[in-house]
Amino acid sequence: MSKQDIATLLDADGFIIIPDVFSNSTIDTMISVIGAADSSGPLFRKTSDLFAIRRFLQVVPGIQPLIFTERLAGMIGQLFGTGYFPVKSIYFDKPGQSNWFVAWHQDLTIAVAKKLPVEGYGPWTVKPDQYAVQPPVDILENNFTIRIHLDDTDEHNGALKVIPGSHRKGIYRPDSIDLLTTPDVSCPVKRGGIMIMRPLLMHASGRSSNGHSRRVIHIEFSRRTLAGGLEWAEQLPFFPVAEA
């Protein structure tokens, strides 16, 4: 698929799946680096249904050179242009016997370093060691997310379900969804592949039913400066190659 085809699909549907971005050996190394991390800190969440690491790129810095390869940088530069940087990162591990699911939603909040009264930003929520706030919608429309899959993922072990094109509707309530007129699609991704999506894309995920794990690295990117002294909580210096 050409760069233009990918960009067209991403614009129309709000997501795209690209296979074989990372080799099996690189994925094995990622898993080893994650497994060696000290999981005793407050940014690690572990239950019978989910293991998650917030501020993943900061808490597990050894993962950064494995993720930010020349190939990934080239993709970002070609699809979105220059100036983007990571602003939020989470690692999810849904065990094979997990009963955890995620209801329909849009990703409406960003992570910031501190809470400030800035017009157009709100409501606010507090998460471990960080603040989250809903920014103006144009910031969400400009951002994108990359999900790196460390396992083969399909509808039986929690692959995302999405409503194509829903990112074009702005912010709307999940209870307004009519799946008869706007059917959802499942987004299977093979190990080493990535899914790129817009935050306003309506999405959900189901429970695991096949006993297979679903491990995903979720990284959000922006190139926007926030208003009123607000700062991104996880901004990292990453600059894609020039736009082709």
Q: How many domains does the chain have?
A: 1
Q: What is the pLDDT of residue 30?
A: 97
**Angle at Cα 55 formed by Cα 145 and Cα 152, nearest 5°?**
55
Domain assignment present for residue 194? The answer is: yes
Q: What is the pLDDT of residue 137?
A: 97
Q: Which residue has the tokens 């690692």?
A: 91
Phi, psi of 32 (to 5 degrees): -65, -45
Q: What is the pLDDT of residue 47?
A: 67
Q: Which run of H or of E encompasses 234?
A: none
Looking up residue 72, the CATH number of its domain turns out to be 2.60.120.620
Distance CA(191)–CA(162), nearest Å, equals: 19
Nearest to 206 by CA among 164, 154, 166, 149: 154
Domain assignment present for residue 74? The answer is: yes
Q: Which run of H or of E encompasses 66?
A: helix 64-67
Q: What is the pLDDT of residue 126?
A: 84
Q: What is the pLDDT of residue 193?
A: 98
Domain assignment present for residue 228? The answer is: no
Q: Which residues contact 162 (CB under 8 A, 6 or more apart)?
A: 13, 14, 15, 184, 185, 187, 197, 201, 202, 203
Domain assignment present for residue 231? The answer is: no
Domain assignment present for residue 167? The answer is: yes
Q: Which domain holds residue 145?
A: 3-222
What's the helix, strand, coil split of the chain in %, to 5? 25, 30, 50
Domain assignment present for residue 190? The answer is: yes
Q: What is the pLDDT of residue 210?
A: 65
Domain assignment present for residue 33? The answer is: yes
Nearest to 91 by CA among 62, 125, 134, 123: 62
| 244 residues of the chain, pLDDT tens digit each | 777 788 899 999 999 999 999 999 999 999 999 999 888 777 777 765 568 899 999 999 999 999 999 999 999 999 998 899 999 999 988 776 666 678 999 999 999 999 999 999 999 998 767 799 999 999 999 999 999 999 999 988 889 999 999 999 999 988 888 877 888 999 999 999 999 999 999 999 987 766 667 899 999 999 999 999 999 999 988 766 544 4
Whole-structure pTM over 0.95, yes or no? no
User: Hey, how many other C-beta atoms are within 10 angstroms of the C-beta on 26?
Assistant: 15
Helices 3-13, 70-80: inter-axial angle, 10-degree rounding: 60
Domain assignment present for residue 171? The answer is: yes
